[in-house]
Chain A
């Protein structure tokens, strides 16, 4: 078979590769000639938005990425953070939005596979996973199909691989009708002196291909992920990869076994743009050239062209640079696990990326420039408009009716239908499974230490005010970790936005990043890894701006951990961090949106200094053993927070109103920085007095709002609601909806 590598590079062909005319001119100037067909493919893979961050780089650089515990920030496969005792947590979140919309099961499954690979590539054994999923309106014709496929795909891969899913998010909004979001998070544990990086070192060393064989699946996937959807998306199905968790599990074990032998110099998984991206990255980082011989690449299909091999996104593959004297031992490990092992090239000293195929050189490009010279744009953006303040009277509804409706709504209802399809207990370290504020796992091999994980963002706030929304996403994540008693260590960001070539979308991105940066600085919560997903649009309509934040926290002693369920009867309920009237802010609330169909008003403001003080105070209450339960307030405000604590425990509570304030604002306002904390202290006793003195010296208001006990939730003057009724409303929505009941 002959392969036409010198076919004419027409403007149409360039456009089909997602490259703009000026970007193509830059390529020609860089290499001093027309690229070959294979080279054009390589450039399109390296220079698309997904791999080059060309629209976001300028702004990502403004994020805080370092701190006393940060071992590795953004730029590697995952971030690495010191957790003491010679151990580190390695984590990242990444989107698989476009593939999951086209083929939900495989799209979601390979999203999970990709993020797990990022983590074990660095030498860490994955110990926890989360998934932030956003779907279209429940009544949209595709939503059930997508929910069922994505959840099965996440479970199908993660369960077989053997990592517990400890948390996540599921949200519905019509703005995701044509473009769902699947953001997968994974974390692993490694020894701080055994972290593996992608930087190659040494000339003339073997470049080794490991794992599964290369097929035609996913060719052009990264380029597809950097384009908007039109009505022709069904035609893009072949760009979605197919996952094989059985191979991934063997690859994990083989990689960790191989790393322990000391044979590995550099390692990079083949994710987006497969062989191209991994080889270029290893060489460019190490100031080395790479020469590949494609005839050595294990393939599972015949007649694959070099173009296809270089752009394939077949899953479960790794590239490594190995110590030559340990090559035989390394091969034995992979043969034991029945995985492919092939030396496909070597490192060179001339900084060229050469690709050979059947004796012919099909690509010869400057390796550094492939990555470093990718276009970087300062795209025009406009200041997002601030929504007008809410006008008119507070819309009224019976407090008990409103609460019951919200608890049984698509926004607040239990996600049990989803998380029971995920293995949440495997590895035997899950201390808090999904359903609480954060997932918590014990650090295996350590008597008391544990890690907390949470994934958060409130897209409707980000739409109303990207800056405050960006701050709020970080603050809520930090708050959820704090609510277990954990010290938030660091975060990963997964920025999902529309088309950055539109100035209003770019304005959202810029402001959200500014807000995230400000909050991360104020809360000592650096961003150590992340992913940007742009062009989340269908037929010109963008998604809600969705900067998902995945955070990790450390608990020194899990016996002093808080949970959301009330711990017993006759305990004092404190609303820590509240304003004097308990709640004031109804703009962009779930109360307005889901009960009155209103999406107006400003997003709630996050006072970061107050947030920090309040969180530190709450954490101290938990760690000293004073707090018996803790839950932060978010969607639905105080009423929903209390209901969730009652639902989780089966224990009721009686709360007293502030009679001179509107009960709707008190119970459903979404003011930020508030926690419900229960304490088993005498309301008249000196301990509680001392607690209030501490709080007030810090400028924190922590009023006693009620007492736990009984089998009903009593919110002031509202009628008592049996906890069992709250439970059945909360549990009912999801299974009923998936069984076909009206949304």
Chain B
């Protein structure tokens, strides 16, 4: 599977994401600068974490209005896969590609620690490397990851299998509704998650629980 990583100014986990995609697939992803006119011909587009435009407006709001995001919308509309991690998740929400909102953490503080995630829907290209109900370790590092949706949206997200992961075993770090850590769009080809599986893929990271996400995703249609 061919992939591309979009880089907005102020993102800072782009190198981590590129390293993870490269280590898992053996091939480096294409990198796309935010001012580039179009996306390369790839199956997967990834928006990594960081602080695009300093998060000086609402997190992700400025990047979401960048011209390259029209390309991302078209890619998603064609059924292409899109993964947003952390700031990438915030950008996809601001771009209208994913339901709900991400508010400031309940503690009002930045939080970086390891949490547990439960796989809620393993029946997608993103989650096929895990089994339903499986609980795995994953780092988080964010200030605004408190997932919220109005009750109608939340019912739909829950009812249509759009919850990908939940914080498990009491490790919800940010106050997210229903412990939601990651959601799909209704076509299940766009995923946004707050945690950072790219920082737990090898021995040096103290574990490789995050690897299955990339392995499942990249192994498909290779």
Residues of chain A having any CB pair with chain B under 8 Å = 152, 155-156, 159-162, 244-247, 249-250, 336-338, 419-429, 431, 442, 558
Q: What are 17 A-to-B residue pairs whose CB atoms are below 8 Å?
A: A159-B51, A159-B112, A162-B12, A246-B9, A249-B12, A249-B51, A250-B9, A250-B10, A422-B110, A422-B112, A423-B141, A425-B199, A427-B15, A429-B204, A431-B204, A442-B204, A558-B204
What 18 new A-B contacts, CB under 8 Å, besides A160-B51, A160-B54, A338-B9?
A: A159-B141, A160-B10, A160-B50, A162-B13, A246-B55, A246-B56, A420-B111, A420-B113, A421-B110, A422-B112, A424-B112, A425-B112, A426-B13, A426-B16, A426-B199, A428-B198, A431-B204, A558-B204
| In-complex Cβ contact of A160 among B12, B196, B199 (8 A) | B12
Interface class of chain B by DSSP: mixed
In the complex, B78 has a CB within 8 A of chain A: no
The answer to whether A425 and B12 have CB atoms under 8 Å apart is no
Residues in A neighbouring B53, C-beta threshold 8 A? 246
Chain A residue, CB-CB nearest to B108: A152
Residues in B neighbouring A159, C-beta threshold 8 A? 51, 110, 112, 141, 143
Complex: A156 Cα to B108 Cα, angstroms = 12
The answer to whether B10 and A246 have CB atoms under 8 Å apart is yes
Chain B residue, CB-CB nearest to A246: B54
The answer to whether A428 and B16 have CB atoms under 8 Å apart is yes
The answer to whether A428 and B205 have CB atoms under 8 Å apart is yes
Max chain B Cβ within 10 angstroms of own Cβ: one of A160, A244, A424, A429: A160
Chain B 43-55: CB-based contact to A (< 8 A → 1; otherwise 0) = 0000000110111
Complex: A336 Cα to B7 Cα, angstroms = 13
The answer to whether B51 and A246 have CB atoms under 8 Å apart is yes
The answer to whether A245 and B54 have CB atoms under 8 Å apart is yes
Complex: A619 Cα to B110 Cα, angstroms = 36
Residues in A neighbouring B205, C-beta threshold 8 A? 425, 428
Complex: A425 Cα to B51 Cα, angstroms = 15
Chain B 172-211: CB-based contact to A (< 8 A → 1; otherwise 0) = 0000000000000000000000001011000011000000
Max chain B Cβ within 10 angstroms of own Cβ: one of A161, A244, A336, A426: A426
Complex: A428 Cα to B201 Cα, angstroms = 9
Max chain A Cβ within 10 angstroms of own Cβ: one of B13, B20, B198: B13
Residues in B neighbouring A442, C-beta threshold 8 A? 204
Complex: A316 Cα to B100 Cα, angstroms = 36
A117 CB to nearest B CB, Å: 16
In the complex, B129 has a CB within 8 A of chain A: no
Residues in A neighbouring B35, C-beta threshold 8 A? 336
A337 CB to nearest B CB, Å: 7
Complex: A429 Cα to B16 Cα, angstroms = 9
In the complex, B19 has a CB within 8 A of chain A: yes
Residues in B neighbouring A431, C-beta threshold 8 A? 204
In the complex, B139 has a CB within 8 A of chain A: yes
Known: A338-B9, A426-B13, A427-B15. A244 touches B110 (CB 8 A): no
Residues of chain B having any CB pair with chain A under 8 Å = 9-10, 12-13, 15-16, 19-20, 35, 50-51, 53-56, 109-113, 139, 141, 143, 196, 198-199, 204-205
Residues in B neighbouring A250, C-beta threshold 8 A? 9-10
A179 CB to nearest B CB, Å: 26
Residues in B neighbouring A244, C-beta threshold 8 A? 54
B17 CB to nearest A CB, Å: 9
B92 CB to nearest A CB, Å: 20
Complex: A421 Cα to B16 Cα, angstroms = 20
User: What 6 A-B pairs have minimum CB-CB distances, sorted nearest first?
Assistant: A162-B12, A246-B54, A160-B51, A428-B16, A423-B141, A425-B199
Residues in B neighbouring A420, C-beta threshold 8 A? 111-113
Residues in B neighbouring A428, C-beta threshold 8 A? 16, 19-20, 198-199, 204-205
B149 CB to nearest A CB, Å: 26
| In-complex Cβ contact of B12 among A161, A421, A558 (8 A) | A161
Max chain B Cβ within 10 angstroms of own Cβ: one of A152, A245, A423: A423
Chain A residue, CB-CB nearest to B9: A250
Complex: A201 Cα to B80 Cα, angstroms = 53
Complex: A425 Cα to B20 Cα, angstroms = 14
| In-complex Cβ contact of B141 among A156, A249, A425 (8 A) | A425
B20 CB to nearest A CB, Å: 8
Residues in A neighbouring B12, C-beta threshold 8 A? 160-162, 249, 426
The answer to whether A160 and B55 have CB atoms under 8 Å apart is yes
Chain B residue, CB-CB nearest to A339: B9
B171 CB to nearest A CB, Å: 13
Complex: A156 Cα to B35 Cα, angstroms = 27
Complex: A337 Cα to B7 Cα, angstroms = 12
| In-complex Cβ contact of B112 among A160, A423, A558 (8 A) | A423
Residues in A neighbouring B55, C-beta threshold 8 A? 160, 246
| In-complex Cβ contact of B9 among A337, A422, A427 (8 A) | A337
The answer to whether B204 and A421 have CB atoms under 8 Å apart is no
Complex: A155 Cα to B56 Cα, angstroms = 16
The answer to whether B16 and A249 have CB atoms under 8 Å apart is no
The answer to whether A425 and B204 have CB atoms under 8 Å apart is no
Complex: A155 Cα to B143 Cα, angstroms = 10
B147 CB to nearest A CB, Å: 20
Complex: A338 Cα to B8 Cα, angstroms = 12
Complex: A486 Cα to B4 Cα, angstroms = 38
Complex: A141 Cα to B112 Cα, angstroms = 28
Complex: A739 Cα to B139 Cα, angstroms = 25
Residues in A neighbouring B51, C-beta threshold 8 A? 159-160, 245-246, 249
Residues in A neighbouring B50, C-beta threshold 8 A? 160, 162
Chain B residue, CB-CB nearest to A431: B204
Chain B residue, CB-CB nearest to A163: B12
Chain A residue, CB-CB nearest to B204: A442
Chain B residue, CB-CB nearest to A155: B110
Residues in B neighbouring A162, C-beta threshold 8 A? 12-13, 50
A570 CB to nearest B CB, Å: 24
Chain B residue, CB-CB nearest to A424: B112
Residues in B neighbouring A161, C-beta threshold 8 A? 12
Residues in B neighbouring A429, C-beta threshold 8 A? 204
Residues in A neighbouring B19, C-beta threshold 8 A? 428
Complex: A431 Cα to B35 Cα, angstroms = 35
Complex: A429 Cα to B205 Cα, angstroms = 7
Chain A residue, CB-CB nearest to B56: A246
Residues in A neighbouring B16, C-beta threshold 8 A? 426-428
B176 CB to nearest A CB, Å: 17
Chain A residue, CB-CB nearest to B201: A428
Complex: A429 Cα to B109 Cα, angstroms = 24
Residues in A neighbouring B196, C-beta threshold 8 A? 425
B6 CB to nearest A CB, Å: 15
Residues in B neighbouring A425, C-beta threshold 8 A? 112, 139, 141, 196, 199, 205
Complex: A631 Cα to B109 Cα, angstroms = 31
Residues in A neighbouring B112, C-beta threshold 8 A? 159, 419-425
A110 CB to nearest B CB, Å: 15
Complex: A558 Cα to B204 Cα, angstroms = 9
Chain A residue, CB-CB nearest to B53: A246
Complex: A421 Cα to B139 Cα, angstroms = 13
| In-complex Cβ contact of B10 among A249, A422, A426 (8 A) | A249
Residues in A neighbouring B143, C-beta threshold 8 A? 159
Chain A residue, CB-CB nearest to B112: A423
B107 CB to nearest A CB, Å: 9
Complex: A245 Cα to B143 Cα, angstroms = 15
B194 CB to nearest A CB, Å: 14
